[in-house]
Structure 1
């Protein structure tokens, strides 16, 4: 009888630990198969059949529709280049160039994955509507108050994420460095 109770207790403990670890990886993510360049992080295998089981569970839990590997790749930034969390009360500058891509979008999301509500109903920019310099570089201000040029309103939320989706791009599983994929810089310009 004692052996049965010990076995049942061990099974209960193993189940709790297994479910807890799965819950943590699906809510907080994992670094399996990630590509990090500056403040930007992507999971190139997410849209393939080689996706790791933790990413697959996260996709299922969140109801996401990942970009297929032949279509493009999605990068996310939740901090600036100095690892300071993106704060909607501060001015954040996204500047530079993007890797070669036929089309790209930059979108602002809250930490739950929803578009950030704002009075202008401006949620992001595309590569076709962005104002660029003569050298092809751009500068986007992400701030609570209106700014001249490319401005993306935060609505003053405390934390948010930026998602840069590159479509029809050579960036993918073989990409490893900033030289392979020149990502835009993300910098905190000022906080009130």
Structure 2
């Protein structure tokens, strides 16, 4: 009996041999998948290349909640509070400014985790950020919830790696870490930022 790992090695070897021998990487890749798969469906619809897709198209291909909300189905915009409340939609605040030399980035709270990872990747192949696996999740809510992720055993939570923020207080002033003080800065990184003001940026 052949083990799955040897099948994978064979698949990789066949793929590399066929890539060198014939016309198109995509065609050879699909032929290889078809040969070794028990699925009859065409693989072409599931293969994305720079010729037929963009990063956003791929990111949004399985997204059910394009606004970046925490709930996959977009059901998180409700309240059980019987008094009046406001929901401020920050999903259009999506700028991500990566500074590789400084090892930092300023990220607007509406950007998704996937957008952040991609912007970092555009600048460096060795940098990263310890955030979550759900690429459609908005950064604002993710960090205010602590920002659990797969790199946290080595680098801590995403919230542990936040250096500064911009937050609008009840008086309409935009404040940074120094202006809000360390207690509030600690609270917005895991304590749910909506209780303390409107977050605009994370550093």
Q: Quick check: TM above 0.5?
A: no
TM range (shorter): under 0.3
User: Which structure is higher in helix share?
Assistant: 2
Structure-2-length-normalised TM-score: 0.26
Structure-1-length-normalised TM-score: 0.27
User: Which structure is higher in strand share?
Assistant: 1
